[in-house]
Amino acid sequence: MFNRVQYKKDALSTLKNNWSVPCLTAIVYLILTALSSTGTGILSACVSGIVCVGMIFTFMKMIVAQHSVVTSAEAAEKITFSSFLEGIETRWLSALLGSLWNLLWVFLWSLLFVIPGIVKAYSYSMMFYVLAENPRIGAMKAMDISKVLTQGHKANLFVMDMSFLGWAFLCAISCGIGFVWLIPYMTMTETYAYYDLKRMAFAQGKLTPADFEA
């Protein structure tokens, strides 16, 4: 069952005392998207997609590190800004292709009016999470997986995004400074949602672990 309240609680739990790296990635995201927005929409979408995948990769490592059982002979993995750079370095090509593929299909559906475009945007919304977790999966396959993951949950994802509107308003009146914290909060929440959607898809037989192999 989709539980946005629990995802948000889990996100805050993971971010507690660990805001520095997520906030730094958000600053990089804001700067690069602002700079790329002066160019074409395609450039902006590609830059945003690449940075988002690096951010998601970092947040996935944070979640895994938090929930891993560490023995006395092991040391818990420390998540640093280098994890973000690693995510970009190892996944930039798949993120780039995914951004172009996503942009193309959302644009085509938007030609049928705005609502179909929004619906399809949510249908493809888990695509970058799939690519962050599995960089060798192609863009088309990642999109197909996202469509399965979001089947029956697009409205839930929309409501979850709307639940951040109040925070977004406060960030806007703070001259945008608050987005340094809101972006990690939202992305971490969506990362937990991705993991749960994946779990539900496995439980319902819609997907198998083999589907996430290149």
What does the pLDDT profile of the chain (214 residues) look like in tens digits?
A: 999 999 999 999 999 989 999 999 999 999 999 888 887 788 888 999 999 999 999 999 999 888 775 544 444 567 889 999 999 999 999 999 999 998 888 888 888 778 888 899 999 999 999 999 998 899 999 999 999 999 999 999 999 999 999 999 999 998 889 999 999 999 999 999 999 999 999 999 999 999 998 7
Counting other chains too, the contacts that 64-67 makes at CB distance below 8 Å and 24 or more residues apart are: 66/13, 66/14
pLDDT at 25: 96
Residue 84 lies in a domain: yes
Residue 188 lies in a domain: yes
- Domain enclosing residue 82, as ranges: 4-67+78-207
pLDDT at 71: 46
Give the separation between CA 10 and CA 5, rounded to whole angstroms.
9
Residue 212 lies in a domain: no
Residue 73 lies in a domain: no
DSSP 211: G
Residue 72 lies in a domain: no
N residues, the chain: 214
Give the separation between CA 168 and CA 166, rounded to whole angstroms.
5
Residues 154 and 161 sit within 8 Å (Cβ to Cβ): no
Residues 63 and 192 sit within 8 Å (Cβ to Cβ): yes
Residue 214 lies in a domain: no
pLDDT at 66: 83
How many domains is the chain built from?
A: 1
pTM for the full predicted model: 0.91
Residue 164 lies in a domain: yes
